[in-house]
Structure 1
Amino acid sequence: MTIQPSIIIGIILFLLLVKLVKKKNSTKSYQLPPGPTPLPFLGCMIQLLQNKPIFRWIHKLMDDYNSSIICLRLGPSTHVIAVSCPTIACEFLKTQDEVFASRAETISAYLISNNYRATIMSPFGDQWRMMRGFLNENMLSSSAHKWLQPKRNEEANHLLCYINNQIQKQNTPTKGALINIRFLCQHFCANVLKKLIFGKRFFGEGHEDGGPGDEDIEHASALFTILTYHYGFCISNYFPWLRGRTDFDGHEKIMRDAIKIVQKYHDPLIEERIQAWKKGARTEVKDILDKLITHENSKLTPEEIKAQILEIMIAIIDNPSNAIEWAMAEMISEPLILNRAIKEIDDIVGCNRLVEESDVPQLNYIKACIKESFRLHPFSAFNVPHVSLKDTIVAGYFIPKGSHVLLSRLGLGRNPNVWNDPMRFDPDRYLVNTGKQVVLSDHDLRILSFSTGKRGCPGVILGSTITTMLLTRMIQGFAWETPHNEPKIKLVENHDNLHLAKPLVAVAKPRLPQEIYPTS
């Protein structure tokens, strides 16, 4: 008996339908992670707006539900999943890395990336692949890192010049000078990035003492404003039809204004350089901007170049500056830790030359201090959201397609099930394996310094180098102590963010022979 083709097709379609229904039921039979009951259409938006700062409310919910994974529905359909357990975090970013390799399409991500033209903010797709490949090959590779080392060395020397100039300006070589360490760290990181990208330290003239001028102060302030609001929970992120119509929380205007300030300094330099290459007035690749312009395999548009430069700026300026301010506060408050760090530098480098990048692999205690600062004092409470590309199951819970996954830097780094006495600053945590180099990343996600997987930070080497050289040069070059009228540093974080509540100001005194210090 001959079976009709239509019957065969019908059987195949039936089997496919059964398989699809089984798959759907297999996921839908699992529950969402615990969390507050959402209202129709609004979800948990009312609670979110009533509980500021939002990151503290989310962490309180995790405590209230006694769960290391919770779910909030925001708006009509967006599920926000917050995670504070390393094992579950690894399931998201390692076991199911392919599923969570995309990014949320938010107003801040859209504005920063100039309509998703760059790497960090772009959803998973061809544009992300192209820009990520370019970034890895041309800007953040080991060869590019070596090529750019002289520029980093110049800024490390400039750091010492600036501190020394403050001491001379205050005319107190023996008593030292008051140094605003937050200001110092933020502008050192900004200066390094400007030097690597544009080949110049300042957009303006700068001050005679080596400090930034008004232009560079405005530029750095705008970068940190962008970072603050990028990690915010904007209403239009969960009601996309509001974008461009109603700016309920003022978030969009603040972001646009800050980006406009940054563009005021970036765009003329970028456009001028593009023209210089077109006209043959510039023929030698000297910095990252030249690399971006002269990339041959797939020419980048001016819009892509501008977006990528902004992303690099905000990706690297935050963690190093915040971590070193906190590390210095903790170390000055605990002289035994500070003295041990000084001894390591003196034993390995000595006092007759300045520490160099080549010394970094041997400076395990210094790196342990930095890693402990990353763990205990992250710049932001959460990572940039990952987005699920399909329905899936994680840790026994149903995670719908399109969910925004937030790994808690606080929850991971201060998790009492992972860390003994988690609120104590203890660099020795990382020195158990003697003879093994301390690295600032953690692929087991017990801390979230540089993340991991497809969306892991591609600038691990650069970020680690900038951070380590900043702390090491400061400690080697100067003795640090609290101001005489403030015998104790208050190690209290701001309620609205995770920064020190009050910028760290300390007294710096030279501790090397005067001829060792660079002169500007």
Structure 2
Amino acid sequence: MSPFILYSILIAILVYVLIKLGSLSSGRRLPPGPRPLPLVGNLPHLGSMPHQSIASLVKKYGPLMYLRLGYVDVVVAASASVAAQIFKNHDANFSSRPPNSGAKYVAYNYHDLVFAPYGPRWRMLRKISSVHLFSNKALDDFRHIREAELAVLTQTLASAGKAPVNLGQLLNVCTTNALGRVMVGRRVFNDGVDPKASDFKDMTLELMQLAGVFNIGDFVPALEWLDLQGVASKMKRLHKRFDDFLTTIVEEHRNGGQEKHVDLLSTLISLKDNADGDGGKLTDTEIKALLLNFFTAGTDTSSSTVEWAIAELLRHPKILTQVQRELDSVVGRDRLVSDLDLPQLTYLSAVIKETFRLHPSTPLSLPRMAAESCEIDGYHIPKGATLLVNVWAIARDPDVWAEPLVFMPERFLPGGEKAKVDVRGNDFELIPFGGGRRICAGLSYGLRVVYLMAATLLHAFDWELANGLIPEKLNMDEAYGLTLQRAAPLMVHPKPRLSPQAYKAKN
């Protein structure tokens, strides 16, 4: 070991000890938690599946828990009551993000919507997104695009023949093309076997995996330059791939001649030279950063949720039969599902809520940071502390949910234990999109995509697992990342169940 590296480690240990002594001398009562180790703190306690490891620790230390990750104070909220206190009483205090390598190296150095510091620039980006992409009017205006891309998907599945299909891959292509038509006025990929589609899926998965890593450099800054886990170097390479992808899209759009586009990118370019409120002018970097947010957060989360839903229904054939019976009653068998049908699909809605409960797309909320010290449940929360909300643990809390590990959509039906619970951030026992002012900006868009996609596939096809696998043996393990992926892709045989004319693609 070189003297410089040894010196860096010794300095890091010294700083850690001084910080630890300072926190002990403050005399403030921190929430309970496991004893931290020297230098790395509780990082080893997180394991390979942090949302599960933290949920296990919560059983011992309680729903408001303190961890020390390197030099960083971390507070974990793991119950609906604690989450409610934070989002109702302390939301403004926890409205910014802590420093992290993902925002620095991938998300254009905090110039995106997801990681931008709370303030005028963030409000400007949020307003642009809310008005031009996620408003009810925008969602209604682009309804035909979502339906058309799902018609393409059903045609692809209907012509699959005897070969099994990787459902997650096809869902990702569909969601990306639908979003691409809304954002940049065209499909991004040609079809389910387009090599670029596979590359994009791989890039998105790598991003979610890297973003979910608890990088030592984020928590022990003196060791950041060593990049002990190789996370920073991987993020830099990934950013280059994403930037090339996005730059090509932007340049092709700008060089598209005199053709007039009605899409988000055209709007963003038009806003580039116009100040928007108190946020200033939109920059090229922010345009690409917004596209990065939408293409990653708006595609893989939706497609993985639908993949989980179909996997659960394959394991629960009676529930699947009931869903299809409702769909046939509302829609019939001569056409595909429309957005306009969704309000009548009560049982399907319960199935999707139950999928969000057991398989939240973001099991640990994106971290927030305390702008000032505060008190929650009688415990001191230090200024600068990172807040993590364990969405996965909250939705499996046996004190709140009857038979929490059982897939039981009936709990959300009229007369059920959670009949009035919704996923829009106001019912804190079920917050797959987060809560408060930094709730997922694309919540409404994501809900429409997930509901319509699930309804279309469950209505249009019967499903069998590939290679004769029986549903009881289906692998339901999770692969941890920023988003909750299946450890093994869902390989299935789709079997058309509607009239042949229903599978004709729309434009």
Same structural fold, with TM-score higher than 0.5 when normalized by the shorter chain: yes
- Aligned in 2, Cα 1:403/1:493: closer, same or farther, shift over 3 Å? farther
Q: What is the aligned partner in structure 2 of residue 355 from structure 1?
A: 337
Which digits, 9 at most, give the CA deviation of each residue in 1:351-401, with x for residues without a partner?
122210111111121121111111111234301001111000012211111
Out of 220, 230, 233, the residue aligned to residue 214 of structure 2 is 233
Partner AA of 1:405 in structure 2: L
- Distance, in Å, in 1 between the alignment partners of 2:172 and 2:462 is 20
SS in 2 for 1:454: helix
Q: What is the aligned partner in structure 2 of residue 411 from structure 1?
A: 393
1:451 partnered with 2:431 = no
- Distance, in Å, in 2 between the alignment partners of 1:138 and 1:500 is 32
Q: TM-score, normalised by structure 2?
A: 0.87
Out of 246, 250, 269, the residue aligned to residue 226 of structure 2 is 246
Partner AA of 1:156 in structure 2: L
SS in 1 for 2:406: coil
- Aligned in 2, Cα 1:438/1:401: closer, same or farther, shift over 3 Å? closer
- Distance, in Å, in 1 between the alignment partners of 2:403 and 2:387 is 27
SS in 1 for 2:188: coil
1:95 partnered with 2:93 = no
Tell me how many residue pairs correspond in the alignment. 473
Query: Does the CA contact (< 8 Å) of 1:319 and 1:378 recur in 2?
Result: no
Q: What is the aligned partner in structure 1 of residue 346 from structure 2?
A: 364
Deviation, 1:57, is: 2.9
SS in 1 for 2:437: coil
Q: What is the aligned partner in structure 2 of residue 188 from structure 1?
A: 174
Output aligned runs, 1:254-333, within 5 Å.
Answer: 254-274=234-254, 281-282=257-258, 284-295=260-271, 296-298=274-276, 299-333=281-315
Q: What is the aligned partner in structure 1 of residue 456 from structure 2?
A: 473
Deviation, 1:99, is: 0.8
- Aligned in 2, Cα 1:495/1:510: closer, same or farther, shift over 3 Å? closer
- Distance, in Å, in 2 between the alignment partners of 1:216 and 1:501 is 20
Unpaired runs of 5+ residues, structure 1, are 1-27, 171-176
- Aligned in 2, Cα 1:140/1:94: closer, same or farther, shift over 3 Å? same
Query: Does the CA contact (< 8 Å) of 2:363 and 2:392 recur in 1?
Result: yes
Query: Does the CA contact (< 8 Å) of 1:79 and 1:402 recur in 2?
Result: yes
- Aligned in 2, Cα 1:489/1:300: closer, same or farther, shift over 3 Å? farther
RMSD: 2.5
1:213 partnered with 2:194 = yes
Out of 131, 143, 147, the residue aligned to residue 149 of structure 1 is 143
Deviation, 1:439, is: 4.7
- Distance, in Å, in 2 between the alignment partners of 1:494 and 1:516 is 35
Which digits, 9 at most, give the CA deviation of each residue in 1:301-324, with x for residues without a partner?
111100011011222223322221
497-506 or 413-422, which deviates more: 497-506
- Distance, in Å, in 1 between the alignment partners of 2:474 and 2:375 is 40
Query: Does the CA contact (< 8 Å) of 1:223 and 1:262 recur in 2?
Result: no
- Aligned in 2, Cα 1:490/1:318: closer, same or farther, shift over 3 Å? farther
Partner AA of 2:135 in structure 1: S
- Distance, in Å, in 2 between the alignment partners of 1:240 and 1:282 is 50
- Aligned in 2, Cα 1:324/1:189: closer, same or farther, shift over 3 Å? same
Q: What is the aligned partner in structure 1 of residue 57 from structure 2?
A: 61
Q: What is the aligned partner in structure 2 of residue 504 from structure 1?
A: 490
Identity of aligned residues (%): 30
Partner AA of 2:67 in structure 1: L
Deviation, 1:432, is: 2.6
Which digits, 9 at most, give the CA deviation of each residue in 1:306-353, with x for residues without a partner?
001101122222332222112111112211100110011111111122
- Distance, in Å, in 1 between the alignment partners of 2:228 and 2:125 is 33
Deviation, 1:492, is: 4.1
415-424 or 67-76, which deviates more: 67-76
- Aligned in 2, Cα 1:495/1:519: closer, same or farther, shift over 3 Å? closer
- Aligned in 2, Cα 1:496/1:343: closer, same or farther, shift over 3 Å? closer
Larger radius of gyration: 1
502-511 or 403-412, which deviates more: 502-511
Output aligned runs, 1:47-196, within 5 Å.
Answer: 47-48=44-45, 51-65=47-61, 67-76=62-71, 78-167=72-161, 170=162, 178-196=164-182
Deviation, 1:242, is: 4.2
SS in 2 for 1:156: helix
Deviation, 1:220, is: 1.7
Query: Does the CA contact (< 8 Å) of 1:81 and 1:403 recur in 2?
Result: yes
Query: Does the CA contact (< 8 Å) of 2:33 and 2:65 recur in 1?
Result: yes
51-60 or 189-198, which deviates more: 51-60
Q: What is the aligned partner in structure 1 of residue 11 from structure 2?
A: none
Deviation, 1:468, is: 0.8
Unpaired runs of 5+ residues, structure 2, are 1-25
Deviation, 1:136, is: 1.4
Q: What is the aligned partner in structure 2 of residue 19 from structure 1?
A: none
